[in-house]
Structure 1
């Protein structure tokens, strides 16, 4: 697997974002480190990710710049920093390594938004999703097993915390590759320790509020059935991450998402189809069907 991912790196680096950004070229100080912002490598929503180089050592890092225009976004960013700064989480070999963070309030900034800087290790292999796109077809079975094992190891470490930490936004876009082709889980802005146990006493308002929170912190095609119909009164806990892992595994095997259209009824009914002609990934069929997409029973 290492040789394959290294060969894909040239494709990824040649397709990084190159448009101008006023943050590129600036110097920032985080703790005892002085860094020069070199280039943008990713963007989305209210965040940019840059390559930043330590002026003294020359070592490169990933510098995530996040802007929070409202309290909800600010809490999300603070949550990500709080989780990653726990060494018991960031110290896992398959979770992106936290280095440091800094922030300024919206009153201190010149754009009316709170601003956060999050410094982590730089995963030069890029996103797993880009590797899959560059390849144009599914990964060989042995590579799927290796990559999936590493992703599961990161999730298991989160779930073993007390209380369990639920990622809630597991998807191939949040799996990065280190320079040594190791899978690294990232983006903890949606993570939570909250467990919801809907019952007949829940009001329509309460269900609506929980539904809104789920919508704001998950990706539609990766949502578990219990998240889509709170009136079934199924517990919403760390098992939702297992469902999302099933989506990732399916995608790595068959180069398509099992619920590409995010159709609510298809997800609730577990209506997906493993290609009937598949012979390469038969060893993984039971894992997908009986573990990851196991029907809810309570």
Structure 2
């Protein structure tokens, strides 16, 4: 899966990054009952493109994700992503699904997904400045509500790629979870009957659809025989909360040994002491001992009541660094991760 499918960046960046040879720009396309004019491409990858499109009737702008399926498995993955997105849409902390359509080509298939355009930026663009604790509370509450909506489906949906980049900000100050290309209703329960080959195959599959620094111990050490399911999102949620408090990731080097042993340190900034319990509860090696999302929400409610900080209300977050600097920083981190994985760390 391309990085584009695992990142929120393409949904919101309204700076025109126009490929002069993209014949899709300027076309009128019909997706469901919506007729749209393609204005510009804002992100692209090996098998997907994201455009800003405009409803020709009411001039509302949307994001249009164009996904190309080259084989049956790729098409099945895309269809699953579209179905999850449609199922989850309607929650205030999930990017709104608008419409989707399918075009069959001779040797491939093309899928068009229309969703709301979040013009406030990505949460990653807001990093680099210190958040006050009451702001952290509002942010992590909205993130947790989005995850709760997924985990409360029947059967529960695991996102499997919860990270800072996949939360977008609307102009109304709401955070929205996006990108369901890695989502699943499957859980895995390795036990003593599993062969080494089975474990290796699952580990490779998980490595393909997850982000290294957010992987949980049970995804990296299948010999632990811990269940791999919704609790993997809670580990990632703990990483996000740590990042919001301390402006750095607890496992930024993606080192396997540090992750499987939950080897992290909480900085001494006393302002965020109220979040230590949640971070520790999310970053438990054993998923059976790890918080679930309802426990996280309960503790956020307790902090709100004790401190007198509101849980709800619009977020007013500022982009602290030029977007290009943030992208360079993230690209450098991705390169470091790939090098470490290649070296087996």
Same fold (TM over 0.5): yes
Match of 1:114 among 104, 109, 123: 109
Q: CA deviation at 1:195?
A: 0.9
For 1:253-264, list aligned pairs within 5 A. 253-264=245-256
State the SS of the aligned residue for 1:99: strand
Equivalent residue, structure 1, for 2:17: 17
**Cα distance in 2 between the residues matched to 1:144 and 1:162:** 30
Q: CA deviation at 1:69?
A: 2.2
**Cα distance in 1 between the residues matched to 2:166 and 2:287:** 29
Q: CA deviation at 1:103?
A: 1.5
Structure 1 residue runs of 4+, over 4 Å off? 12-16
Q: CA deviation at 1:22?
A: 3.0
For 1:116-131, list aligned pairs within 5 A. 116-131=111-126
**Cα distance in 1 between the residues matched to 2:85 and 2:252:** 30
Q: Alignment length, in residue pairs?
A: 276
Equivalent residue, structure 2, for 1:200: 192
Q: CA deviation at 1:105?
A: 2.5
Q: CA deviation at 1:42?
A: 2.9
**CA distance 1:129–1:16, shift in 2 (3 Å):** farther
Q: Residues 2-33 of structure 1, C-alpha deviation per residue, up to 9 Å, x if partnerless?
A: xxxxxxxxxx8675534433322121111222
State the SS of the aligned residue for 2:75: helix
Equivalent residue, structure 2, for 1:265: 257
- Is 1:102 paired with 2:101? yes
State the SS of the aligned residue for 2:271: coil
Range 70-79 or range 27-36, more displaced: 70-79
For 1:234-245, list aligned pairs within 5 A. 234-245=226-237
Equivalent residue, structure 1, for 2:57: 56
Structure 1: gaps of 5 or more residues: 1-11
After TM superposition, the score normalised by the length of structure 2 is: 0.76
Equivalent residue, structure 2, for 1:293: 283
Query: Which has the bigger relative contact order, CA under 8 A and spacing at least 6?
Result: 2
Structure 2: gaps of 5 or more residues: 1-11, 289-345
Equivalent residue, structure 2, for 1:8: none
For 1:10-159, list aligned pairs within 5 A. 15=15, 17-20=17-20, 21-86=22-87, 89-107=88-106, 112-132=107-127, 136-159=128-151
After TM superposition, the score normalised by the length of structure 1 is: 0.87
- Contact 1:16/1:42 (<8 A) preserved: no
**Cα distance in 2 between the residues matched to 1:262 and 1:45:** 25
**Cα distance in 2 between the residues matched to 1:274 and 1:16:** 40
What do you get for the CA RMSD once the two structures are aligned? 1.7
Match of 1:279 among 265, 270, 285: 270
**Cα distance in 2 between the residues matched to 1:245 and 1:18:** 34
Equivalent residue, structure 1, for 2:172: 180
- Contact 2:14/2:42 (<8 A) preserved: no
Match of 1:165 among 157, 162, 180: 157
Equivalent residue, structure 2, for 1:7: none
Q: Residues 126-173 of structure 1, C-alpha deviation per residue, up to 9 Å, x if partnerless?
A: 2111222xxx32322222111110010010111111111000011111
Q: CA deviation at 1:199?
A: 0.4
**CA distance 1:33–1:269, shift in 2 (3 Å):** same
**CA distance 1:230–1:13, shift in 2 (3 Å):** closer
Match of 1:226 among 218, 222, 225: 218
Q: Residues 33-85 of structure 1, C-alpha deviation per residue, up to 9 Å, x if partnerless?
A: 21011122333442222111000111111111112223332222111111122
